Amino acid sequence: MASGQKKERRFGMFRGKRLRKLCSSAVVVLFLVAWAQTCARADEILVSAAASLTDVLNDISKSYQAKSKNTVRFNFGPSSGLARQIEEGAPADIFFSADLPQMDALDKKGLLERGTRKNLLSNQLVIIVPADLKLAISSPKDLLKADVKRIALAEPSSVPVGVYSSKYLTDEGLWDQVKPKVVPVQDVRATLASVESGNVEAGFVYKTDAAVSKKVKIVYEVPIDKGPRITYPVAIMKESKQKDSARDFMNYVSSPVAKDSFKKFGFVVLD
């Protein structure tokens, strides 16, 4: 074969290949644009919420996402840790805290969207023990018994349920004797898990958390009038890039349908 012939054949083939390549790329690009268009209209909002809200918010968002094009992603954890994350720039659109100090901290730093903050729920503190515990514990004073060696509590200096519990025990004059027995854990669900495991004799959680577990039993409910006032505030973050979708979900969370869900899980709905 002469080199000239070869060159010509290559040139001809090259031209055809290039055209085919161009066509397939165009098709791919068109598909991508169409897909991006559909995605662009639907938002994914990130909600940082207190661990105690895990089951009820998953329940509420299921019905929300059935009727909305938006998707909701949750970041559950201790409200104190979540607030720290947001302070450091975590891209949460909504923050649902288990106490006021964490929301106040963000408010002071100017991280809340004006006019969106509101108090939505309240809860009740309870003492739980492993369901198969043989020890008799029926009041906070029983925690002082020598047989009660370890008490699970979410970090008492920062996590809301830990702060509420330690303040309650301080008011009852029991904190100094309870403190040496405390095993600090990450959040209220970690407290629940510790008690379920049987590696501690007792723990402090919200009534709503005790309700979701069959492996623990409530031995004492802190009376609402004697215990700490528990308030769950919620707000949209100022740095949110999809405030409209966030507002949409917030409205849904404050709707009668959602309020029924909260009541079903045992939360007190503030009106």
Partner 1 sequence: MISSFDTWQITLFSIAVGLASTLLILPFGIALAWLFARKEWPLKSVVETAVLLPLVMPPVSTGLILLKIFGRRSALGQWLYERGIEIVFNWKGVLIAMSVMSFPLLVRSVRTSFAEVNVRLEQIAATLGASPLKIFFVITIPLAYKGIVAGALLAFSRALGEFGATILLAGNIPGKTQTLSLAIYNFVQLGKDPEAYTLLGITVALAFLFVWSSEWLLRSEKKVY
Residues binding partner 1 (CB under 8 A): 80-81, 84, 87, 149-150, 155, 157-158, 182-186, 197-200
Indicate the residue among 88 and 271 with the shorter CB distance to partner 1: 88
Q: Which helix (H) or strand (E) holds 83?
A: helix 79-87
Indicate the residue among 159 and 246 with the shorter CB distance to partner 1: 159
In whole angstroms, how close is the CB of 90 to partner 1 at the nearest point? 14
Indicate the residue among 164 and 265 with the shorter CB distance to partner 1: 164
CB atoms within 10 A of CB 33: 9
Residues with Cβ within 8 Å of residue 116, at least 6 apart in sequence: 235, 236, 247, 250
Indicate the residue among 120 and 185 with the shorter CB distance to partner 1: 185
The Cα–Cα gap between 177 and 57 comes to 36
Q: In this structure, what token pair is assigned to residue 178?
A: 């309870």
In whole angstroms, how close is the CB of 84 to partner 1 at the nearest point? 5
- Closest of 252, 183, 187 to residue 54, by C-alpha: 187
**Secondary structure (3-state) at 192:** helix
Indicate the residue among 93 and 196 with the shorter CB distance to partner 1: 196
Q: In this structure, what token pair is assigned to residue 230?
A: 């528990």
Indicate the residue among 51 and 120 with the shorter CB distance to partner 1: 51
Residues with Cβ within 8 Å of residue 85, at least 6 apart in sequence: 48, 75, 92
225: burial class by Cβ within 10 Å (0-12, 13-18, 19+)? exposed
In whole angstroms, how close is the CB of 151 to partner 1 at the nearest point? 11
Indicate the residue among 197 and 251 with the shorter CB distance to partner 1: 197
Indicate the residue among 200 and 234 with the shorter CB distance to partner 1: 200
| Torsion 63-64-69-73 (CA) sign | negative
Residues with Cβ within 8 Å of residue 152, at least 6 apart in sequence: 182, 183, 185, 190, 191, 194, 195, 200, 202, 203, 204
In whole angstroms, how close is the CB of 224 to partner 1 at the nearest point? 29
173: burial class by Cβ within 10 Å (0-12, 13-18, 19+)? exposed
What's the chain's length in residues? 271
